[in-house]
Amino acid sequence: MKIKKLYFALVFIFISFLNLHSKPYVIIVSFDGFRWDYLNRNITPNLNEILNDGVHALSLRPSFPSKTFPNHISILTGMYPDNHGIISNNIKNIFNGKRYRIGNNKSVTEPEWYQGEFFWETAERNGIKTASYFWPGSEISDTLRSPNKVKPYEHNFPFINRIDTVVSWLKLPIQERPQFITLYFHETDSKGHDFGTESDEINEAIALVDSLAGYLFKQIQELPIKDSVNILFVSDHGMQNIDKNKIVNVEELISQYKYDLVDSGPLMQIFPNSENDKENIYAELKRNEKHFKAYLKNELPDYYHFGKHPLIAPIVLIADYEAYLVNNRISKRNYDLSAATHGYAKDHINMHGIFIANGPAFNKGMKTGTIWNIDIYPLLCELFKITPRSNIDGKIDRIRFILNNE
| Annotation marks residue 68 as catalytic | yes
What's the pLDDT score for residue 336? 63
What's the pLDDT score for residue 142? 97
* Backbone angles phi and psi of 343, in degrees to 5: 125, -10
Q: Are residues 234 and 256 in the same domain?
A: no
Q: What letter would DSSP give residue 178?
A: -
The answer to whether position 68 is within a domain reads: yes
Range of the domain at 88: 24-241+347-402
Does position 256 have pLDDT exceeding 90, yes or no? yes
CATH number for position 256? 3.30.1360.180
What's the pLDDT score for residue 406? 72
The answer to whether position 17 is within a domain reads: no
DSSP 102-113: TT-TTGGG-GGG
**How far is the C-alpha of 186 from the C-alpha of 205, rounded, in Å?**
10
Q: Are residues 135 and 279 in the same domain?
A: no
Q: Are residues 44 and 181 in the same domain?
A: yes
Total count of domains within the chain: 2
| Lowest model confidence (mean pLDDT) among 15-29, 153-167, 320-334 | 15-29
Q: Which of 315, 368, 319, 364 is nearest to 345 (CA)?
A: 319
Annotated catalytic residue within 68, 122, 130, 188: 68
The answer to whether position 220 is within a domain reads: yes
Q: Are residues 156 and 192 in the same domain?
A: yes
Q: Are residues 139 and 225 in the same domain?
A: yes
Q: Are residues 118 and 169 in the same domain?
A: yes
Supply the pTM of this predicted model: 0.94
**How far is the C-alpha of 49 from the C-alpha of 12, rounded, in Å?**
42
**How far is the C-alpha of 206 from the C-alpha of 344, rounded, in Å?**
22
What's the pLDDT score for residue 2? 54
pLDDT digit string, tens, across residues 116-134: 999 999 999 999 999 999 9
pLDDT digit string, tens, across residues 302-333: 999 999 999 999 999 999 999 999 999 876 56
Return the percentage of the chain with pLDDT > 90, whole number: 91
Q: Are residues 62 and 148 in the same domain?
A: yes
**How far is the C-alpha of 273 from the C-alpha of 286, rounded, in Å?**
19
Does position 19 have pLDDT exceeding 60, yes or no? no
Average pLDDT, the chain: 94
Mean pLDDT of 238-244: 97
Q: What letter would DSSP give residue 265?
A: B
Does position 136 have pLDDT exceeding 70, yes or no? yes
pLDDT digit string, tens, across residues 344-376: 999 999 999 999 999 999 999 999 999 999 999
CATH number for position 228? 3.40.720.10
Give the pLDDT band (50/70/90) at residue 30. very high
Residue 173: Cβ-neighbour burial (10 angstroms; 0-12, 13-18, 19+): exposed
The answer to whether position 118 is within a domain reads: yes
Q: Are residues 63 and 191 in the same domain?
A: yes
Q: Are residues 138 and 225 in the same domain?
A: yes
Q: Are residues 84 and 232 in the same domain?
A: yes
The answer to whether position 231 is within a domain reads: yes
What's the pLDDT score for residue 325? 96
Strands 55-57 and 366-368: parallel
Q: Are residues 248 and 236 in the same domain?
A: no
